[in-house]
Structure 1
Amino acid sequence: MKKRILFSILLTVFSFVLTVSAKQEKYIKHTVSKGETVTIIAQKYKVTPFDIYKLNPDSQNGIQLNSVLLIPSSTIVGATASVTQSKGNPPATHLVQPKETLYSISKQYNVTIEELKAANGDLLNNGLKTGQNIKIPASSGNATGVVSAPVPVKESIKETLKPIVKEEPRAASKGETTYHVIEPKETKYGVSKRYGMTIEELEQLNPQILNGFPVGMKLVVSGTGATAHAETPVVNGIKQKEITPTSSGKKYLQEYVVKPNETVSSIANDYGMSESELLELNPELKRGVKTGMILRVPIITKKEVPVPVKDQGQGNLIKKINTNARKQLALLFPFNISKIESDTVNTTQARLKKDKFLNLTLDFYSGALMAIDSARVLGLNIDIKILDSQETKNSSNVAGLAEQNNLAAMDAVVGPFYQSNAEKLADLLAVSKTPVISPLSKETGKKYPNLYQSMPSNDILRSTIFNYMRAKGGNILVVVDPKKGSIKQYIQEMQKGVRIVGLSEKGTFVADSLKALLQKDRLNYVVIASESTGMILATTTAMLNAQKDYQVQLAIMEPNETLDFEEIALSRLTKLKLLYPSVSRPNETLEASQFDAKYKKLNKILPNQYAIRGFDVTFDTLLRLSQDKPFEETVLSNPSDQIENKFDYVLNATGGYTNKGIYILYYDTDLTIKEAL
């Protein structure tokens, strides 16, 4: 399903400062100078004309030289600060400014686009044009305006870079059931996450998948359990839902997930009810309390838990937060706003349909906003500046940004995205020793002492999987495709003691060559380095045949798209428990579910890998900046696990820091992906 994004407003300068913990005044005073208009003043203070009209009703009839106007403060408190405009009488007309749209004007004046069109008759038949003087109708209350000056972080993704809903699985209405047909390579984890369910709920609705997950099977994915997860708001890990009252007449409106060590008595006490009432609502409790059970309980008013709600593996990063000193963080995202503004051939929607890199950027950005929101809730004392890096693989505005925004004075910078640009910025900031975190690139180039490579490289992926197999005392064999000469050289030079399986003269796999190297008293890891479907099928067939006499497990040392082809059955990979290194992990903890629920509430869709990466990189950086020791020390002494990514930095011999945070995962026989221990 393809993401559809449109730009409702394009900012002339996409740069603003966010203070996580600062306070603001309600308004400031401005004395009108010669030639100024309400629109000019609004642009000067980065507020809307309607904001000024609200505080100065007489200004709707014109402003006078030296008169004093009250201007709303432009400081935004917190990462998610937004102000809903109060209802009132908007000005009679509005002079259309460059870059304005019907959508942005409707938001300014708290009216709908339809009301604007109706009030202006034929004037808008040919679209909105700069310089038009359009009528503003009285608000019907159906539209909500958001103060946009300066653009708050959360509102900027809603208004400036607004994700529109993907075509998500439709929620079943009452009495209706929604189905999903299993497709090749799908797993229980993937399907359950797609529909906002846990694996256990999926299995409860479909007992036939307990011991298998065959392609083509029709699953129930919404109705009794899935609808609540897919569409019902989740607060504090609790799904809001109206349910039947008890005999005492109380009305219960939510479900609760049982946590470890809880009892019937403790849960009843927490929700102000008797044990008998709790048992009446949940007869299954008579058989005992189990962690993960979903119970019906009374609705209560609780403050929504931030993400993350507790230490998810951040080590001592959360426990030792120090907010005494204010820190500065810059985030550089390649929006390339100026190029989009000057594109006269493609509409924004058309550009986004084919610009995968821009979509990736927006996803990463949306996750970063979630991290900033969590920082606000935790009370971190950090000023955050978000800038458009205006970069491509071969060009960037890094030098200009560094000078214009004094990036050398920052305590850290996340970005740019392209490795060459990150290295260039690290070079520019080397004198000030400002940490530059490269967020996405796996490339390795020149090392700089202040460059932090947050994405593990392919070399680290390879070495990590071999180190794991050695630690398990395995007999490690490698089947190398003749076309993979560099891999063969890497094995021979860097992985001493690993044996390479011989091939035929024609370069094809020979089952007897593999069998001759297998050992009965050890687990035999067979690493395959080939993108040939034929070689993979031949190798895995030989391994399946050898299972009756030997312990064998299939492994790969880096991502291999050929394994996703339909010709290679998923059942083949699960029987051989495919083992592989990964920079991310499947996470089904309560905290991860809360993150998914909160993200979906904000963006109307579940987060993808880039959104989660955006959260993880940004939140890890924010926590490290908030310690009582320098950033450089935290990366060496405090590894952290975030939602799906691990950050475990090591100092390079030639300078700079590399993240070796890798997960070792495997396909289990129950068709789930698990972390190897």
Structure 2
Amino acid sequence: MNKIVYISFLLFFCLSSAQPGELKKHTVAKGETVAQIAQFYKVTPFDIYQLNPDAKLGIKENTILLIPKATGASAKVHEVKPGDTFYSIAKKYNLTNEQLEKANPSIDKFNLIIGQQLQLTSNGVTSNGNKTNETKTFHEVQPKETFYSISRLYDMSVSELEQLNPDVVSNLPVGYQLVIKKKANVKVEAESNPNNKVVVSETNSTDFKTYVVKPKETLFGISKEFGLSQVELVKLNPELENGLQEGMTLRVPKTQIKTNTIPIAKTTYRDLSKSVRVKETKEIVFLLPFNVSSIASDTTLSMQARLKRDSFLNMTLDFYSGALMAVDSARRLGMPLKIKFLDSKETRNSSNVVSLVHSENLKNSDIVIGPFYPQYVEKVAQLLSESNVPVISPLRETSTSYENLYQSMPSGDFVKNTMLDYLYAKNGNIIALIDNKRNATRKLLETEHKSIYITPLGEKGGFIGDSITPRLQKNKTNYFILDTGSTGMILSALNQCNKARSNGYKVELVVLEINDTFETDEIFQRLIKQKIIFPSMTKFEETLEFSNFSNSYRKKNNVFPNQFAIRGFDVTFDVMQRVLLPEGFESSVQTTSTVQLENKFDYFDRNDSGYSNKGVFIMQYQEDYSIIELD
């Protein structure tokens, strides 16, 4: 009853405040919406809801609505297109999220429907951008922005920004008008080669224009067209983090961003041992899941039996043995290091990393390596973020990141993208042969690499060969990307390669990941004859350094080192050298790439999300079973 009285009173108030002759009556037709009615009468849904508050609960056929007189100019309307988001629409028309919400109170901004019509003006709502007055300039907070990323954008410190905006220090809402210190030029930083740094000219908002994504365009292609890296393009258009779609409206430079005259060359690598300066002692702490207490309490199994059964413990001990080899090498070189190995007691469901951070006073350490499980690496990074202690994730990618978190293992998607970027750089014609079970690869290509043709599959799952021939090109290398775990599909792909070659086409077979099926006797020899190209996180090269390490390791441990032992050495030795450089650890990862025994460490800055390793090798098998690195 109270609700009915309230609605009746509100309706009476709206009617009494309207002047005679200013209102019209509209009988709702079947299927009509408030947005459609508002457009017809040149008003906004907000105007209709003011006079008909119960319409917010929904309108039905034959309902009578009161319609106000149109206010002069027609209300602007935007029809939702594929790829549109609430944020991108607001940005396109220079509105804030709040203004667009006010003009469309009945619209679910998180579930826009293609063809849906959004009003762009309402009573008291007008278009405006970053507002300025004589003494202040404002920045409108965009999704996923932080104080740190905004401070970098305007060349300010975080503390300066917080002092100007004390009301939102603990929470930075999207759409908030943040005060900045001056009419600063927005600074765009290019992702660059560490040894050939790219200098990008400063630009302001007037230097940008809108660009509508065309069919089959890719992030790679658009970024190259406008002289940006893919990272920069996403920074300018945060909605791209959800994928590129046809019809999206992007913010791009009016003219190509100019760099300095230093060319981008192939990455060169630096031997850090020649740059180490022996000064103050640095402390490196390892958090490794030995789980000593659980081993000691288990009297049912001998250590030998446990090692046979416990693969996670084996991996830990292998990594630890490689790290010890690196520590020995550092001591022989006279590096002033204090090393601590701590038991992180990790399982899938628990660890003691929180107590270790506090009890061992890790905020005063110089570097932390580990733990192994991603969720515990993230926790340690979070606890040490205020102290800015670098935390190295040695084996796995994490889903959440912090400014002080370093992902030393390239992610799966990054490995694939590196392979694809190599093929683009070779100006190849790319055709994908993908198993239905490889959903991750299929989704990656469909969202980020729409120019790549994905071969359709028949009813039984095999490739439809007739669909491939029209896609082949005589004047280019045709790269067949194969991603499958099926023996039958591998053989089918090999037949397609041979058929194309016999018809005079140049063909290379590319494998995005070497899986167990590729290594079977039935398949492997056939693939070798194809001289397959593949991305790898390790190099296959028998160097003198690797030979010396392998022999020393065998003498010490009575076995040859496996991949985890080698990685333990590489991660540890790379960190130990960087922490003793004059410029410090963080600066070194921004400017210097290295190759250790097998692993490449070529970090890139993810802005306010730490650093990720992009160290991937592009390799090719030769018919004599040797493997070479491609340029």
TM-score for the superposition, normalised by structure 2: 0.56
Aligned to 2:321: 366
CA distance in 2: counterparts of 1:400 and 1:644, whole angstroms = 34
**Are 2:398 and 1:440 aligned?**
no
1:276-333 per-position Cα deviation (integer Å, ceiling 9, x unaligned): xxxxxxxxxxxxxxxxxxxxxxxxxxxxxxxxxxxxx860522211111211110121
**Residue from 518, 523, 548 that aligns with 1:563:** 518
**Residue from 338, 346, 359 that aligns with 1:383:** 338
Considering only aligned residues, what root-mean-square deviation do their CA atoms show, in Å? 1.5
**Residue from 293, 297, 304 that aligns with 1:349:** 304
Residue correspondence of structure 1 range 531-546 to structure 2 within 5 A: 531-546=485-500
1:478-530 per-position Cα deviation (integer Å, ceiling 9, x unaligned): 01222334422210211142111222244321222222222122111100122
CA distance in 1: counterparts of 2:411 and 2:514, whole angstroms = 12
The answer on whether the counterparts of 1:552 and 1:576 sit within 8 Å (CA) in structure 2 is no
Residue correspondence of structure 1 range 87-486 to structure 2 within 5 A: 315-441=270-396, 443-486=397-440
CA distance in 2: counterparts of 1:583 and 1:393, whole angstroms = 26
The answer on whether the counterparts of 1:458 and 1:558 sit within 8 Å (CA) in structure 2 is no
1:26-63 per-position Cα deviation (integer Å, ceiling 9, x unaligned): xxxxxxxxxxxxxxxxxxxxxxxxxxxxxxxxxxxxxx
Aligned to 2:447: 493
CA distance in 2: counterparts of 1:625 and 1:483, whole angstroms = 44
Q: CA deviation at 1:555?
A: 1.0
Q: CA deviation at 1:475?
A: 1.0
Aligned to 1:99: none
Residue correspondence of structure 1 range 579-658 to structure 2 within 5 A: 579-658=533-612
1:210-246 per-position Cα deviation (integer Å, ceiling 9, x unaligned): xxxxxxxxxxxxxxxxxxxxxxxxxxxxxxxxxxxxx
Q: CA deviation at 1:353?
A: 0.8
In structure 1, the residue corresponding to 2:615 is in which secondary structure?
Answer: coil
The answer on whether the counterparts of 2:378 and 2:398 sit within 8 Å (CA) in structure 1 is no
Aligned to 1:176: none
Aligned to 2:461: 507
Matched to 1:319, the amino acid is: K
CA distance in 1: counterparts of 2:439 and 2:374, whole angstroms = 26
Matched to 1:391, the amino acid is: E
CA distance in 2: counterparts of 1:314 and 1:595, whole angstroms = 20
The answer on whether the counterparts of 1:544 and 1:576 sit within 8 Å (CA) in structure 2 is no
1:384-433 per-position Cα deviation (integer Å, ceiling 9, x unaligned): 11111111122111011111111110100000011111111101111111
CA distance in 2: counterparts of 1:378 and 1:467, whole angstroms = 39
**Residue from 615, 623, 627 that aligns with 1:669:** 623
In structure 2, the residue corresponding to 1:466 is in which secondary structure?
Answer: helix
CA distance in 2: counterparts of 1:505 and 1:603, whole angstroms = 53
**Are 2:456 and 1:526 aligned?**
no
Counting matched residue pairs gives 363
Q: Provide closer, same or farther for how the CA distance between residues 363 and 345 of structure 1 changes in structure 2, counting only shifts above 3 A.
A: same
Aligned to 1:23: none
In structure 2, the residue corresponding to 1:516 is in which secondary structure?
Answer: helix
The answer on whether the counterparts of 1:557 and 1:580 sit within 8 Å (CA) in structure 2 is yes
In structure 1, the residue corresponding to 2:521 is in which secondary structure?
Answer: coil
- Which deviates further from its counterpart, 432-441 or 651-660? 651-660
Aligned to 2:114: none
Aligned to 2:228: none
CA distance in 2: counterparts of 1:515 and 1:669, whole angstroms = 27
CA distance in 1: counterparts of 2:605 and 2:322, whole angstroms = 27
In structure 2, the residue corresponding to 1:619 is in which secondary structure?
Answer: helix
Matched to 2:466, the amino acid is: D
CA distance in 2: counterparts of 1:353 and 1:488, whole angstroms = 37
The answer on whether the counterparts of 1:444 and 1:457 sit within 8 Å (CA) in structure 2 is no
Residue correspondence of structure 1 range 15-54 to structure 2 within 5 A: none
CA distance in 2: counterparts of 1:545 and 1:670, whole angstroms = 23
Q: CA deviation at 1:618?
A: 0.2
1:98-141 per-position Cα deviation (integer Å, ceiling 9, x unaligned): xxxxxxxxxxxxxxxxxxxxxxxxxxxxxxxxxxxxxxxxxxxx
In structure 2, the residue corresponding to 1:324 is in which secondary structure?
Answer: coil
Percent sequence identity over aligned pairs: 47
In structure 1, the residue corresponding to 2:301 is in which secondary structure?
Answer: coil
CA distance in 1: counterparts of 2:545 and 2:439, whole angstroms = 44
In structure 2, the residue corresponding to 1:359 is in which secondary structure?
Answer: helix
The answer on whether the counterparts of 1:583 and 1:645 sit within 8 Å (CA) in structure 2 is yes
CA distance in 1: counterparts of 2:526 and 2:476, whole angstroms = 22
CA distance in 1: counterparts of 2:493 and 2:605, whole angstroms = 39
Matched to 1:657, the amino acid is: Y
In structure 1, the residue corresponding to 2:300 is in which secondary structure?
Answer: coil
Q: CA deviation at 1:372?
A: 0.6
Show structure 2 runs of 5+ residues with no match: 1-267
Aligned to 2:35: none
1:68-125 per-position Cα deviation (integer Å, ceiling 9, x unaligned): xxxxxxxxxxxxxxxxxxxxxxxxxxxxxxxxxxxxxxxxxxxxxxxxxxxxxxxxxx
In structure 1, the residue corresponding to 2:272 is in which secondary structure?
Answer: coil
Matched to 1:616, the amino acid is: D
The answer on whether the counterparts of 1:430 and 1:450 sit within 8 Å (CA) in structure 2 is yes
In structure 1, the residue corresponding to 2:402 is in which secondary structure?
Answer: coil
**Are 2:512 and 1:552 aligned?**
no
CA distance in 1: counterparts of 2:398 and 2:286, whole angstroms = 21
CA distance in 2: counterparts of 1:486 and 1:527, whole angstroms = 14
The answer on whether the counterparts of 1:556 and 1:580 sit within 8 Å (CA) in structure 2 is yes
TM-score for the superposition, normalised by structure 1: 0.52
Matched to 1:641, the amino acid is: V
1:598-646 per-position Cα deviation (integer Å, ceiling 9, x unaligned): 1112112211111100000000000001100121111111110000000
In structure 2, the residue corresponding to 1:547 is in which secondary structure?
Answer: helix
- Which structure would you say has the larger RCO, counting Cα contacts within 8 Å and 6 or more residues apart? 1
Matched to 1:586, the amino acid is: F
CA distance in 2: counterparts of 1:484 and 1:362, whole angstroms = 33
CA distance in 2: counterparts of 1:414 and 1:429, whole angstroms = 13
Show structure 1 runs of 5+ residues with no match: 1-312
